[in-house]
Chains A and B, each alone.
Chain A
Amino acid sequence: MTTTTMSMAKALNAGLRRAMEEDPKVVVMGEDVGRLGGVFRITDGLQKDFGEDRVMDTPLAESGIVGTAVGMAMRGYRPVVEIQFDGFVYPAYDQIVCQVAKFHSRSQGRVPMPMVIRIPFGGGIGAVEHHSESPEAQFAHTPGLKVVACSNPVDAYWMLQQAIACDDPVIFLEPKRHYHSTRAEIDDAASPGPLWESRVVRPGDAATLIGYGPTVGTCVDAAAVAAEEGRSLEVIDLRTLSPLDLGPVEESVRRTGRAIVVHEAHVNLGLGAEVAARLTETCFYSLEAPVLRVGGWDTPYPPARVEEAYLPDLDRVLDAVDRSFAF
């Protein structure tokens, strides 16, 4: 048993390394993932230790990366594909949606597609266009894919290994803004909970904040401020976006009567819309106010100097809490 304190970036690296040690069929593919160790260094040192056959610096073509990963998965490999930035996933969109997602059902289960597509997502890093997006709803809308988002180093370490072990294709979203923002103790002998469960990360009883990926921290910060003002907010980390695990959310909302979903993605037709619709179906008589959504505006992700006005922050979350209570 070893307990190590590490950042999310290091935790992802350690998780990948362990998955590669445990299963020789796990291969890493992507742009600059080899010698450079990835532009975020998530794959740092892996090519040196596992060789060029298992950690591939691919040509710069996202459809090509995912499409060739399909062929490798057909032959029994478990590719872990890195998409360098969220906004660069679209050249691979057809392969992901039409091929990766459909192989298992098309083949009536004869050809599983165990593949993890890692996407650093979300904004707040002062980047140029296409480097700050949140495309999760597009993949959660696609049957055949599973979509998860980690929010902290411990989850990053375990969830990545669980996603790699899954026989279905998993879109694995990493909140790049938090790669290095926090550190946590990881006990590699611990037994992680199931991948497909959401989790209460801060208990409360006045209202329920629902986030995932980068907004979990925002919600926790908002709850801390609200607590000072005498409001006890429960925070839930969805973790799995497809399938959704709304059991803990429903249990919470039945107690609090108020729910606010927070994500960086555009509000219109975002994941919050689905959560709101389902809570209306399952918790209608418990709701004291409509389920509110806090998210990115329905604009293209803006230039970096104005991104703070776009991203949901503590104030916007607390403003929504106020609106919920004022309803």
Chain B
Amino acid sequence: MNDPVFGPTPTAPADEGELVQLLTPEGERVHHPEFDLELTPEMLRTFYRDMFLVRRLDVEATALQRHGELGLWAQLLGQEAAQVGAGHALARQDFVFPTYREHGVAWVRGVDPVSLLGLFRGVDNGGWDPHAHGFNLYTIVIGAQVLHAAGYAMALQRDGVVGTGDGDRDAAVLAHFGDGASSQGDVNEAFIFAAWANAPVVFFCQNNQWAISEPIEKVSRIPLYQRANGFGFPGVRVDGNDVLASYAVTQAALKRAREGQGPTLIEAYTYRMGAHTTTDDPTRYRLMEDVEHWKLKDPLARVEVHLRRNGLADDDFFAELSAEADALGERMRRECHLLPDPQPLSIFDRVYAEQTAELAAQQAEVATYLSSFADHAGAGAEGGAA
């Protein structure tokens, strides 16, 4: 578009020409002037192993939903590289604010895949300890967590753990969101606050092209990473299906944040190969040709080709990994069933840090009511029930 008075305005959100790539879809290592990377074969195998297991995790959870064991599952198929790459760029002391689709980052942060199932099975709203893993609970409201990330980064500044030069102390925050969330006020306000505070936060946007049924090119006139310019910090687009590039770029941005140089926006350009969630039917709004196109850019296949072609992993490696994935799937199926249903009276227990007399009284009323049934098997409150 070229306005006669105001001049040209951009119209190409989907231009792929500018993305950082270190491993082509064909498995060729390419070099980049700013984000080059030397990885040991062991690291390459670790990346592949994690992506392979995360894909199995996702397949198993999807199957568990189809079997009625989960009410819902948000699939990450196609986004393994962006998540595993970003996850490996984190330092132990960093903190992550995920969406509800960050199973790959959760895996790298040591969150048990079974505890990811709790939210989707309906036994809890997130069963892991955010502080133990430096990984917040999943946030359902789109984009809300990005503000929390900016605030957490502001707290790191006040704790004096930014820019000290001590690599074991200096910390940063990784804030996940998607292309859909990029329209949210909270995400844009988080950009404003992070710029204002020069906060150590890396905004990691997985542009998987689809916000349920709405394609990003109808929402944004420019590539999402370019929006960072308007907020006054750097933005970069990375091949989100390239685990090496996702790792390298995130690592560089996190390092920059830890050093006190402020926020960065990373747009990981990828594709949601599955449905939005298991309730969604993408055949209603997108063409199979698009999906076929993106299959050629598969995040795992390119690493496998690279490993095999260069003799960095043998058949035994892939066979052992396959067996490990089978064992993971078997454990998820078994332990999903073992997740305990919450007891009715327990819903009163953690509403407040300091329980109110009012709520304790209501809990006691419910306990009395429940115990009035002949087949009542015990209410199981953690405390407070009369």
- List chain A positions with a Cβ less than 8 A from chain B: 27, 53, 58-59, 61, 63-64, 67-77, 91, 94-95, 98-99, 102, 104-112, 114, 143-144, 146, 166-168, 196, 243-245
Q: B141 contacts the other chain (Cβ, under 8 Å)?
A: yes
Q: In the complex where A58-B193, A68-B147, A106-B126 touch, is A166 in contact with B354 (Cβ < 8 A)? A: yes
- Complex Cα–Cα for A181 and B353 (A): 36
Task: Count A-B pairs with CB separation below 8 Å.
Answer: 137
Output the nearest chain A residue to B353 by Cβ-Cβ distance: A167
Q: Is the CB of B359 within 8 A of A64?
A: no
Q: Is the CB of A70 within 8 A of B147?
A: yes
Of B36-44, B105-113, B129-137, B236-244, the stretch lying at the interface with chain A is B129-137
Query: Closest Cβ of chain B: how far from A210's Cβ, in Å?
Result: 16
Please give, as numbers and ranges, the residues of chain B lying within 8 Å of A143 by CB-CB distance.
351, 359
Please give, as numbers and ranges, the residues of chain B lying within 8 Å of A196 by CB-CB distance.
356-357
Partner of B350, one of A58, A64, A105: A105
Q: Is the CB of B144 within 8 A of A99?
A: yes
- Complex Cα–Cα for A245 and B151 (A): 34
- Complex Cα–Cα for A102 and B352 (A): 9
Q: Is the CB of A70 within 8 A of B352?
A: no
Give 12 A-B contacts (CB < 8 Å), ordered by A residue: A58-B196, A59-B193, A59-B196, A61-B192, A67-B147, A67-B186, A104-B353, A106-B125, A107-B350, A167-B353, A168-B352, A196-B357
Query: Closest Cβ of chain B: how far from A278's Cβ, in Å?
Result: 10
Q: Is the CB of A67 within 8 A of B148?
A: yes
Please give, as numbers and ranges, the residues of chain B lying within 8 Å of A53 by CB-CB distance.
157-158
Other 7 A-B pairs with CB < 8 A, given A59-B192, A68-B190, A168-B352:
A27-B158, A68-B193, A74-B151, A108-B127, A108-B350, A109-B349, A110-B129
Please give, as numbers and ranges, the residues of chain A lying within 8 Å of B47 by CB-CB distance.
none
Q: What bracket does the count of chain B residues touching chain A fall in? A: 35 or more
Q: In the complex where A95-B144, A104-B350, A110-B131 touch, is A72 in contact with B356 (Cβ < 8 A)? A: no
Q: Is the CB of B158 within 8 A of A104?
A: no
Q: Is the CB of B352 within 8 A of A71?
A: no
Q: For chain B, what secondary structure do more than half of its interface residues adopt (helix, strand, loop), or is it mixed?
A: helix
Please give, as numbers and ranges, the residues of chain B lying within 8 Å of A74 by CB-CB distance.
130, 136, 148, 151-152, 155
Partner of B147, one of A71, A110, A166: A71
Q: Is the CB of A71 within 8 A of B144?
A: no
Q: Is the CB of A67 within 8 A of B130?
A: no
Q: Is the CB of B357 within 8 A of A243?
A: yes
Output the nearest chain A residue to B196 by Cβ-Cβ distance: A59
Q: B154 contacts the other chain (Cβ, under 8 Å)?
A: yes
Partner of A107, one of B137, B150, B173: B137
Which residues of chain B in 143-192 are interfacial with respect to chain A, using CB atoms and an 8 Å cutoff?
144, 147-159, 173, 185-186, 189-190, 192
Query: Closest Cβ of chain A: how far from B186's Cβ, in Å?
Result: 6
Please give, as numbers and ranges, the residues of chain B lying within 8 Å of A166 by CB-CB distance.
353-354
Partner of B126, one of A64, A107, A144: A107
Query: Closest Cβ of chain B: how far from A139's Cβ, in Å?
Result: 14
- Complex Cα–Cα for A117 and B349 (A): 24
Please give, as numbers and ranges, the residues of chain A lying within 8 Å of B126 by CB-CB distance.
106-107
Partner of A167, one of B131, B185, B354: B354
Q: B34 contacts the other chain (Cβ, under 8 Å)?
A: no
Mask: chain B, 337-371; 1 = CB below 8 Å from A; 0 = not? 00000000001011111101111000000000000
Q: Is the CB of B150 within 8 A of A67?
A: yes
Q: B324 contacts the other chain (Cβ, under 8 Å)?
A: no
Please give, as numbers and ranges, the residues of chain B lying within 8 Å of A72 by CB-CB distance.
151-152, 154-155, 158
Q: Is the CB of B149 within 8 A of A71?
A: yes
Q: Is the CB of B150 within 8 A of A68?
A: yes
- Complex Cα–Cα for A185 and B125 (A): 48
Please give, as numbers and ranges, the residues of chain A lying within 8 Å of B147 by CB-CB distance.
63-64, 67-68, 70-71, 95
- Complex Cα–Cα for A32 and B158 (A): 20
Q: B326 contacts the other chain (Cβ, under 8 Å)?
A: no
Q: In the complex where A67-B186, A99-B144, A110-B130 touch, is A144 in contact with B352 (Cβ < 8 A)? A: yes
Please give, as numbers and ranges, the residues of chain A lying within 8 Å of B69 by CB-CB distance.
none
- Complex Cα–Cα for A326 and B56 (A): 74
Q: B217 contacts the other chain (Cβ, under 8 Å)?
A: no
- Complex Cα–Cα for A196 and B354 (A): 11
Q: Is the CB of A105 within 8 A of B125?
A: yes
Q: Is the CB of B158 within 8 A of A67?
A: no
Please give, as numbers and ranges, the residues of chain B lying within 8 Å of A68 by CB-CB distance.
147-148, 150-151, 154, 190, 193
Output the nearest chain B residue to A54 by Cβ-Cβ distance: B158
Q: In the complex where A64-B147, A104-B353, A106-B126 touch, is A75 in contact with B190 (Cβ < 8 A)? A: no
Partner of A75, one of B141, B152, B347, B356: B152
Q: Is the CB of B137 within 8 A of A64?
A: no
